[in-house]
Amino acid sequence: MTIDTDAFSAQLRAAAVDTKSRRLLVTRFTDTAQEDDLSEPTNCDGHGRIRHFRRGTSAGWPDNPIPIDPASAALGLDGTDSLTAQVFQNAACNWRCWYCFVPFKLLNANESRSSWVTASTLVDWFAQVDPRPPVIDLSGGQPDLVPEWTAWMAAELIDRGLDGEVYLWVDDNLSNDYHWRYLSDNERASIASYRAHGRVGCFKGYDAESFAFNTGAAPELFDRQFELMRRHIDDGTDCYGYVTLTAATEADPTDAMTVFVDRLQQIDEHLPLRVVPLEIAVWGPVAPRVRAAHTQALVHQAQAVAAWNREIASRFASSLRERAINEIPVLGR
């Protein structure tokens, strides 16, 4: 059944945020299937986990420099190939990607698997983590169902003098316009004034068909992903992208990839160089969801990333491709 994204988003938002008391539902990992996948014990009273971002990827896949390079540049860290981040997940997502490593039970704003917390509590917990990671990753779930979360965290970190010491990285599945619909001018300003901030939007496929297959959402919403990315970039946010390349097809992806990269370049000619293809792997909660079409999609992604690599190599000089991802200009910035 196709997800009614707008209706489901509204329902989840209503269940996952309390704007009066400035609280949101944050996932508690303790005794969940996701906890079994973690390489380190949870922290922050069971609501946090440490993620190791690594530049290296599998053969044939481009390096993954986000958020390593933008965070290092913003914080004045030495060049590195890995970075730790303190991850919090909001307990709601409006899509159901078959490859999601979060158990779907943790995406329903279920209070039995999450807690109502304020940004102040999250930063209190974070301050006690030892060693303290240089990055806070607001993940999901879909953080932009509760866009206030980013504003509250930015304001809290600024209040505590941590602006410039902690890079605030926000994941976004590019599904809704809540950032503009629900944030006040002051809240958007507090995000914009946070010095060390970046946002990554995830393109959930390279065409409408692969998008719908991956997310369970209507294929028309693939177009919305580009519109939302454009709006965030227009606002001056330091934006990056992921793209997942799984598709249940044996068809040659070359032509579709050409169109996908064209569409990125319609936002900005350099934007493809800020987009990183993500290889999908089968983590614990994913295995029971995998059917024949998914197995085919896992195989197909190798062909798709080869097509991506050809597009990038043919469109950009090596001198540009070799630049740090945060130094790729978009909209002349």
| Displacement of CA 254 from its chain's centroid (Å) | 25
| Minimum separation from the CB atom of position 140 to ligand SF4 (A) | 5
Write out the two tokens for 249. 């097809």
Q: Tokens 């990607």 label which residue?
A: 97
Residue 326 as a binder of ligand SF4 (CB under 6 A): the answer is: no
Site size for ligand SF4, by CB under 6 A?
Answer: 10
Q: Tokens 């999250």 label which residue?
A: 122
Residue 173 as a binder of ligand SF4 (CB under 6 A): the answer is: yes
Do the Cβ atoms of 240 and 200 come closer than 8 Å?
A: yes
Residue 142 as a binder of ligand SF4 (CB under 6 A): the answer is: yes
Among 29, 95, 149, 222, binds ligand SF4 (CB under 6 A): 95
Other CB atoms within a 10 A radius of the CB of residue 127 amount to 12
Residue 100 as a binder of ligand SF4 (CB under 6 A): the answer is: yes
Residue 93 as a binder of ligand SF4 (CB under 6 A): the answer is: yes
Point out which span in 130-138, 139-147, 299-307, 325-333 binds ligand SF4 (CB under 6 A): 139-147
Residues 6 or more apart whose CB falls under 8 angstroms from that of 206 comprise 243, 245, 247, 253, 256, 257, 260, 304, 308
| Minimum separation from the CB atom of position 101 to ligand SF4 (A) | 7
Residue 72 as a binder of ligand SF4 (CB under 6 A): the answer is: no
Nearer to ligand SF4, 72 or 90 (CB): 90
Nearer to ligand SF4, 8 or 182 (CB): 8
Q: Where are the beta strands (DSSP E) in 237-279?
A: 239-244, 275-278
Q: What is the C-alpha separation between 202 and 241, in angstroms, rounded?
A: 6
Residue 143 as a binder of ligand SF4 (CB under 6 A): the answer is: no
The backbone torsions φ and ψ at residue 265, rounded to the nearest 5 degrees and listed phi first, read -70, -20
| Minimum separation from the CB atom of position 244 to ligand SF4 (A) | 8
Among 87, 102, 117, 174, binds ligand SF4 (CB under 6 A): 102
Residue 200 as a binder of ligand SF4 (CB under 6 A): the answer is: no
Residue 256 as a binder of ligand SF4 (CB under 6 A): the answer is: no
CA dihedral sign, ordered 315, 321, 323, 325: positive
- Nearest Cα neighbor of 25 from 156, 147, 103, 114 is 114
Among 70, 133, 134, 141, binds ligand SF4 (CB under 6 A): 141
Binding site for ligand SF4 (CB under 6 A): 93, 95-97, 100, 102, 140-142, 173
